[in-house]
Structure 1
Amino acid sequence: MFSGLSAFPLTPMTETGIDEAAFTRLIERLAQAGVGSIGALGSTGSYAYLSRAERLRVAQLAVQHADGVPVIVGIGALRARDVLDLAQDAQTAGAHGVLLAPMSYQRLNDDEVFGLYEAVTRSLSVPLCIYDNPGTTHFEFSDALHGRIAQLPKVASIKIPGVPADPVAAQARVMRLRALIPDHVTIGVSGDGFAALGLNAGCDAWYSVIGGLFPQLALGIFHAARAGKPQEATRLSDRLAPLWALFAQYGSLRVTATAAEICGLVGAPSLPLPLKSLEGAARQQIKAILDQLHL
């Protein structure tokens, strides 16, 4: 479950609620593609914008329609009490694992983050993935803190942000972290533009935004890297460079939501206000890229 391609779909919604039919179609699409796992309620799934009841419903739908594919459910929240409640909800819904980012309004310190993971892992019956996403949480894990948390029971994976662009430096970064964590804890790369680099450098998993919408594209990159074909993985990733550039410019969530709307996979609007999908020239640019890639 914490190796292979983990695909993170959108949670399409309007201000009146979740578009359950569209979300179900996205989950079934991923299951049919043969992804390794499905990451419901990640950042791409807009977890921070949903109520507890909405998050429980999304978790239930994901498990019900995943056709046996393992489902990992995001449980991040500002307060530890709420994280514990969300962890219980995810387990009740049948999640196979949970994903936890240290969300904050007041900046957290290392001991506070460790305490959060310590409290949550004591209550879990399913494995946990550490979600290292400084771009949204504004908390930066040190390798030493990763090593400390990775010793806790139920910790099974670390979702790291993009690796260095130099392949040698990327491999050194992965090896440095791996030396500090137990053998059973996997390392998964995120930041889709860095995925080929991370996989070629030895990451076990790819926690993928684009995989949640176009799983076959992501699977092609993943399988090339796993087959020992780093140049092919890099070539396939470089083919998507225009998308990666838009991710960097506008944020992967806005770009992915816009692409999903253009392709008719979700209705418009599909993001929780005040977030909006892209319009005007940016939307036309995304459509041109999708046409070029025959998506």
Structure 2
Amino acid sequence: MKMSRKINVNLDPENDFLYHLGFDTNSQNLEEMFGDVRVVCMGGSAHRMEGFAHYMLDILGYNLPIGTKLDDMTINAHRYSFFKIGPVISVSHGMGMPSMSILLHEMIKLVTYAKCKDPIFIRLGTSGGVGVDPGTVVITDKAYNELLHNVHEFCILGKRVPREAVFDEETIKQLIACKSEEDSFDIVNGGTMGTNDFYEAQGRIDGAVCDYTQEDKLEFLYKVQAKGIKNIEMEAPMFAALTRHCGIRAADVCVTIINRLNGDQVSLSPELKHEFEMRPQIVVGRFIKELLSRE
């Protein structure tokens, strides 16, 4: 199902500089460079998204010529890391909604100028589970803000503008179908809470400031759980709201690295942390292979 695209009518396709990516429509042919893109994958860590780029090289069966390597196409902009693997882009978005919002605006403009056909945006990340075992992959249907509202509030021209934060149902179903009987982990579908802070906004008691008790924290987390929220991270509401507003199919696929009902400290071994971080990549990699095989 294609969504109706709603893009800024003030854009100048002949003269636009995507400042934080280092691309422009004046000196570069973005359609020639990126017109074949079908999936844009995003994650917070530059290192992780470079690793995902190499993972996609392997599972898509692409071989780089001897003596060459994957290049970070936005290295000179000094903001994000950006790799293209055939019809797939792997790009880092930094930490939190403000950083991701900047990337997202410019990525939506990029695929628009490149005339990409129904591109799908997917975020891969880590999160804190709420009553969910560590290592579980959560595919988000609805995203909630810190007040547990299913919206993201954009502050525009001095006013709060709420936009519904819901992900594409068809894409969610296709991702869930990527579960394999051989997987050692569960895939669940549910709500995700996104916050603008890692500590107080998420009810942690191990930040530099904490003006509430352990009992207050648990009371809040059980309220979060009662809303059908499976995990907490820092990007989902804005990501869902902006992509939906622009008519971009999108999904959020995160692995839980802790069950917040049992504590706040993340204490995974490096080996287990890497194994958990690979799980969203495995699921999304299967989704991309299936998508491309149908085209």
Larger radius of gyration: 2
Where relative contact order (Cα < 8 A, 6+ residues apart) is larger, the structure is: 2
Q: TM-score, normalised by structure 1?
A: 0.26
Bigger strand fraction = 2
